[in-house]
Amino acid sequence: MKIVAALTDPSHAARAEAQGADLVELRLDLMDGDPLKIIRKCRKDCTLPVIATIRSGMEGGQFFGDKDAWIKKIRPVVPHADYIDVEQGFACHAREIHKAGRKIIASHHSGQMVPLYILFVMERELRAFGDIPKIIITPGNDADLVELITFTQAAHKPIITGVMGSQFRHARAILPVFGSEFVYCHTGDPTAEGQYSVEEFVQLRKLLLG
């Protein structure tokens, strides 16, 4: 159960480390400026592993280019990151990232619930090009959440699961108990509705794990 501080400001990297985060995610689609300068500043300010993410508009982010524009933007930061978040639409560039010696978080974000059998299909598809599948869905009711928990427990590991929105915010704390590798939090500026702060989740982790 590792805490990822999802950042919209690279100057918050030191704060994330001080607050107890295990990794930082640079949401480069939400930041202005040169991505290379951003990640270099992050590396200078903290010692935590770094996830570099350019989230597409289709999956809730602010990047609206095609797959060629995506790799052009992410390529300079690849040597400086530990993980690169790669959506399925950009999977054609996974080989280049792996050749650079970087791990891939193969991600999919859905604004609705996905049937249980589709979750397992999605896991296989994401794992085919990535090291850690990340599947984020939006439950419509408690039964949907139970299915997501069931999937999280049964899926091959490592796996990252989560929810979008604030209605089932508590799922962000529950899913890591059943095997989700990372939980994404904030240091003051949430990158997604319903996120816990790093400080909140540090306390939750102590309570959950004893």
Mark whether 44 is an active-site residue.
no
Q: Which of 134, 156, 170, 186 is catalytic?
A: 134
Mark whether 134 is an active-site residue.
yes
Residue written as token pair 């989560």: 162
Q: Which of 103, 109, 156, 206 is catalytic?
A: 109
Q: Are 80 and 111 in contact (CB under 8 A)?
A: no
**What CA–CA distance (Å, rounded) separates 35 from 28?**
7
Q: C-alpha distances in angstroms, 142 versus 150, 171, 182, 184, 208?
A: 12, 10, 22, 21, 21
Residues carrying an active site annotation = 109, 134
